[in-house]
Amino acid sequence: MLCEITGYDAISLQPNSGAQGEYAGLLAIQRYHQSRGEGHRNVCLIPSSAHGTNPASASMVSLKVVVVGCDDNGNIDLDDLKAKIEKHRDALSCIMITYPSTHGVYEETVRDVCELVHEAGGQVYLDGANMNAQVGLTSPGFIGSDVSHLNLHKTFCIPHGGGGPGMGPIGVKSHLTPFLPGHVETGTHYAVSAAAMGSASILPISWLTSP
């Protein structure tokens, strides 16, 4: 069901929060670059409109954060994005974008943003914390993203901020599938949490209230 609504090819249920999903997704991107002999790519572009966990997660995996400016309405400034891509082209690892943005805006240039980054050899991390506003209208896979987390303790679930357990699974396109975290029991090479499927006990709530 998660593959269907996201447009991705595979899901890892390991991450226990949105932030941990970001961490896992960025690790998958890094491992992908390394597998292609491009492990030197270490720049992560992040628009100034991003949620605070985005730069924090990028720092956790030792990526260098480069901020992309936004216009007065909070939209990613495409001219600034092009300039930053050009400046960091050889070292570009990825961009982290949020759709709809943290301002609640469906940015019309989102597919252009993905294309510009891909053209420079980078990957697109689309923060899916606001996925409930995409379902049935569009999907990260359609938009052109490579990996996203879903805040399933928020989307289709209970109000955020209760301080309870979280569930931040990540979805990926097929080229990133070999780099998903898993669990020793499933024969995967690395894990991001101790439990095989994160805080799976939350999922009946998300499942019951999903569209």
Ligand X SMILES: Cc1ncc(COP(=O)(O)O)c(C=O)c1O
Q: Which stretch binds ligand X (CB under 6 A): 15-23, 80-88, 115-123, 173-181?
A: 15-23
Query: Which residue's CB comes closest to ligand X?
Result: 18
Q: With binding defined as CB under 6 A, does residue 19 bind ligand X?
A: yes
Distance, in Å, from the CA atom of 155 to the CA atom of 210, rounded to the nearest integer, reads 9
Query: Smaller CB distance to ligand X: residue 75 or 121?
Result: 75
Distance, in Å, from the CA atom of 110 to the CA atom of 101, rounded to the nearest integer, reads 10
Q: How far is the CB of 57 from ligand X (least distance, A)?
A: 9
163: left (phi over 0), alpha (psi -120 to 50) or beta: left
Q: Which residue in the set 82, 118, 160, 175 belongs to the binding site for ligand X (CB under 6 A)?
A: 160
In the three-class reduction of DSSP (H, G, I as helix; E, B as strand; rest coil), residue 70 is classed as strand
Q: How far is the CB of 159 from ligand X (least distance, A)?
A: 11
Q: Which residue in the set 7, 28, 92, 127 belongs to the binding site for ligand X (CB under 6 A)?
A: 127
Burial class (CB in 10 A: 0-12, 13-18, 19+), 174: exposed
Query: Smaller CB distance to ligand X: residue 127 or 146?
Result: 127
Q: How far is the CB of 36 from ligand X (least distance, A)?
A: 28
Q: How far is the CB of 187 from ligand X (least distance, A)?
A: 28
Q: Which residue in the set 85, 129, 157, 176 belongs to the binding site for ligand X (CB under 6 A)?
A: 129
Q: How far is the CB of 141 from ligand X (least distance, A)?
A: 18
Distance, in Å, from the CA atom of 119 to the CA atom of 83, rounded to the nearest integer, reads 14
Q: Which residue in the set 6, 93, 98, 148 belongs to the binding site for ligand X (CB under 6 A)?
A: 98
Beta 147-149 vs 170-172: how paired, if at all?
A: antiparallel
Nearest to 21 by CA among 51, 63, 53, 52: 53
Q: Which residues contact 125 (CB under 8 A, 6 or more apart)?
A: 22, 25, 26, 29, 94, 95, 96, 97, 145, 146, 147, 148
CA dihedral in degrees (172, 166, 101, 74; nearest 10)? -130
Q: How far is the CB of 124 from ligand X (least distance, A)?
A: 15
Q: With binding defined as CB under 6 A, does residue 15 bind ligand X?
A: no
Q: Which stretch binds ligand X (CB under 6 A): 17-25, 40-48, 177-185, 192-200?
A: 17-25
Distance, in Å, from the CA atom of 88 to the CA atom of 83, rounded to the nearest integer, reads 9
Name the site residues for ligand X (rule: CB under 6 A): 17-19, 51, 53, 98, 102, 127, 129, 151, 160, 166, 168
